[in-house]
Amino acid sequence: MAIRRPRPTVGPTPEPTPEPGSDALIRYVQDGVPSVAPTGTSAGDALEFAASAPDRMAMFFYPQPRKEDVLALGEAWDLHPVLMEDLLTGRQRPKFERYGDVRFLVLRSARYDDAREEIDVAEFHVLLRPGAVAVLCQDGRWIDGTASPELDADHPLTSTRRERSMPAGTNLLTLGPEAVVYRVLDVIVDGYEPVLRGLLIDKEQIERQVFGADAAVTERIYRLSQEVVEMQQIVTSLEDVIEALRGGFDKYAIPEALQAYLDDVSDHLTRAIHRVAELREALTQILSVNATLVAQRQNEDMKKISGWAAILFAPTLIGAIYGMNFDHMPELHWAFGYPMALGMMLGLGVLLYVVFKKLKWM
């Protein structure tokens, strides 16, 4: 079992107040302490708060963003039309893009449904700019699979926690909006571990099935291979996102503590990438072994079919010869002709059976 890293929470926070007519949860952060935005706070108001002092930050969380929410956010943040199209479209692979001072990330979390042997993927859009960060849940659920209506009253983005890679007593919220993004990345990457564990368990079950001559195993191998390929696409795409974030360390003056945090996340992702690659290779080998075993079983079946066909051919041949009713066939008028024909049929059948049995065709 994987060892989970301890992450003590920052502390309890009051219930958030959603923006009127919106499901958005907005939090103000000052000196690393989150607080609920006043009732009626708009995206523009939150940006003004963040810009009013260097130690302030605004966090936006959209559990189930509507088109109106995205349009309002785009207007307040002055987002590029291409970026707006991406936000409204969804169904994208993990990527990282820059539009002026706004950085846009597409992230995908994964959960494994063992009963269906399928990976459930959730897509998240993250917007990052100086003093503000926004997370939009495109599939209506949080990273751990919690549906939007069931989310705890506490703002998911305020549950930032300390990593073992960071100095003791470090409050992530004091390190700026990048810290929130790194935290989301960390939770997503940690979520890959149980998925890989579930895939590994199913792979081991399939190995036992293959040598148990289960006819349904081929389809199971194929379906599990498809899930592994999807998982490989998710983790490898996220690697490019993290590399792009690391490339901005100097430009955005990322603190060393945060750099170490992202490096730690990158290490965990690298291990996940290697494990997925190993799983895919193992399933390829299992499929090859299964094909070989199926061919062997088919060959054994063909031997048995051929053996029985030869055994049945012997009496058929004798019967066909004596069934031609030619006038000059002495055996037809011989008193022992009939017993002789039956004896030859039986004798040849037994002889062929013994021969094929020794050859292990029967």
Establish if 216 belongs to a structural domain. no
Domain count, the chain: 1
HEC profile of the chain:
CCCCCCCCECCCCCCCCECCCCCCEEEEEECCEEEECCCCCCHHHHHHHHHCCCCEEEEEEECCCCHHHHHHHHHHHCCCHHHHHHHHHCCCCCEEEEECCEEEEEEEEEEEECCCCEEEEEEEEEEEECCEEEEEECCCECCCCCEHHHCCCCCHHHCCECCCCCCCCCCHHHHCHHHHHHHHHHHHHHHHHHHHHHHHHHHHHHHHHHCCCCCCHHHHHHHHHHHHHHHHHHHHHHHHHHHHHHCCCCCCCCCHHHHHHHHHHHHHHHHHHHHHHHHHHHHHHHHHHHHHHHHHHHHHHHHHHHHHHHHHHHHHHHHHHHCCCCCCCHHHHCCCHHHHHHHHHHHHHHHHHHHHHHCCCC
Establish if 245 belongs to a structural domain. no
Establish if 205 belongs to a structural domain. no
Pairing of strands 56-62, 95-99: unpaired
Establish if 247 belongs to a structural domain. no
Q: Of 91, 166, 80, which Cα lies nearest the Cα of 123?
A: 91
Taking only the tens of pLDDT, the chain with its 362 residues reads 333 333 333 333 334 444 444 567 888 999 888 888 888 888 899 999 999 998 899 999 888 888 999 999 999 999 999 999 999 987 888 999 999 999 999 999 999 998 888 999 999 999 999 999 999 988 877 777 777 655 554 545 554 444 444 444 457 788 889 988 998 999 999 999 999 999 999 999 998 888 877 778 888 999 999 999 999 999 999 999 999 998 888 887 888 888 888 999 999 999 999 999 999 999 999 988 888 888 777 777 787 888 888 888 878 887 777 777 666 676 666 777 778 778 888 888 888 888 877 877 77
Q: Could you give the dihedral angle defined by the CA atoms of residues 343, 346, 347 and 353, in that order, rounded to the nearest 10 degrees?
A: 180
Establish if 138 belongs to a structural domain. no
Establish if 267 belongs to a structural domain. no
Establish if 312 belongs to a structural domain. yes
Establish if 4 belongs to a structural domain. no
| Predicted pLDDT of residue 317 | 81
| Predicted pLDDT of residue 98 | 93
| Predicted pLDDT of residue 8 | 33
The domain containing residue 326 runs over which residues?
295-358
